[in-house]
Amino acid sequence: MTTRTILLASPRSFCAGVERAIEVVEQLLDRRSHPVYVRKQIVHNTHVVAELESRGAVFVDELDAVPDGATVVFSAHGVSPAVRSEADRRGLDVIDATCPLVTKVHAEARRYAARGDTVILIGHAGHEEVEGTMGEALDRTVLVETVEDVARLEVEDPSRVSYLTQTTLAVDETTAILDALRNKFRGLKGPAEADICYATTNRQEALAAIAEESDLVLVVGSTNSSNSRRLVELAHKHGTPAYLIDDASGVEVDWLAGVRVIGLTAGASAPPRLVAGVIDWLREFGPVEVVEREITQETIHFTLPSTVRNS
């Protein structure tokens, strides 16, 4: 029987912001006897949410489902000032698990708007991170998703324009949109360092390093995970069939027909154990050789919020 090769992209799975957000909820569940509420999914992964629910976390869509005075965790994707104001008015005990890299984008939005700029946010409509960032300066922020959006864009003062990006975008598509913005607004300003986070960039570069060698790419991640979906799109751009799966149960046997090399990775909110589960499942269909391709090592670690460290 022919041995299949699994090219394992590295880095993959959890990033520092995701690890921090999950640890926030876990520590609160360990230390507090009263219910811990979480607004939205703490990170975009069904397995993570289910595991925390099994330990007692209560996930809600909006704050009106949280009793007055209760503990509520804001997810890694961040929230708008309007949500923070509502929490203050209700006397909620807020624990903020927003990724520090998203917090940086929020600060930039406030700074750019305060100096009178129109803030152009590159991102995906409806994503929680985008909603939170736009809420920092709603009357001065416009969202663009494509180069075509840029072509249609009109602003009050073209000489005072700044841009920001969602942290989980595809690098190549964002570059094209930025080029269009720079061509249209010659004085365009932006952050000193790109807003697309290191983890998103690393996972895309790691997948790009194996995609063309692969007959099939499997991306472990949930459908509402932006960075996971971008990985599938990236594999397609390299001409390789690719599928987004929550776990090994999502793999269809028919996909393996004629496949000798499988590229395997996971989005930044997918637990590493799910990748191991896919490898174990593939072994049921014959011998496999796992070859890890590491393009860089991630050493970033974010400290927990002081409200958690000191509780």
Chain centroid to CA 243: 18
Among residues 129, 136, 156, 212, the one annotated as catalytic is 129
From the number of C-beta atoms within 10 Å of its C-beta (0-12, 13-18, 19+), residue 250 rates as middle
Instruction: State yes or no: 80 annotated in a binding site.
Output: no
For residue 166 the two structure tokens come to 């969602």
Instruction: State yes or no: 167 annotated in a binding site.
Output: yes
Within 8 A by CB and 6+ apart from 179, the residues are none
Instruction: State yes or no: 236 annotated in a binding site.
Output: no
Q: For residue 199, how many other CB atoms are within 10 A of its CB?
A: 26
Q: Which region, left, alpha or beta, applies to residue 198 given φ > 0 means left and ψ of -120 to 50 means alpha?
A: alpha
Q: Do residues 24 and 308 lie in contact, with contact meaning Cβ atoms separated by under 8 Å?
A: yes
Instruction: State yes or no: 106 annotated in a binding site.
Output: no
Instruction: State yes or no: 227 annotated in a binding site.
Output: yes
For residue 8 the two structure tokens come to 């394992």
Instruction: State yes or no: 202 annotated in a binding site.
Output: no
Instruction: State yes or no: 44 annotated in a binding site.
Output: yes
Instruction: State yes or no: 10 annotated in a binding site.
Output: no
Is 129 a catalytic site residue? Answer: yes
Instruction: State yes or no: 165 annotated in a binding site.
Output: no
Residues carrying an active site annotation: 129
Binding residues: 15, 44, 77, 99, 127, 167, 197, 225-227, 269
Binding residues for isopentenyl diphosphate: 44, 77, 127, 225-227, 269
Binding residues for [4Fe-4S] cluster: 15, 99, 197
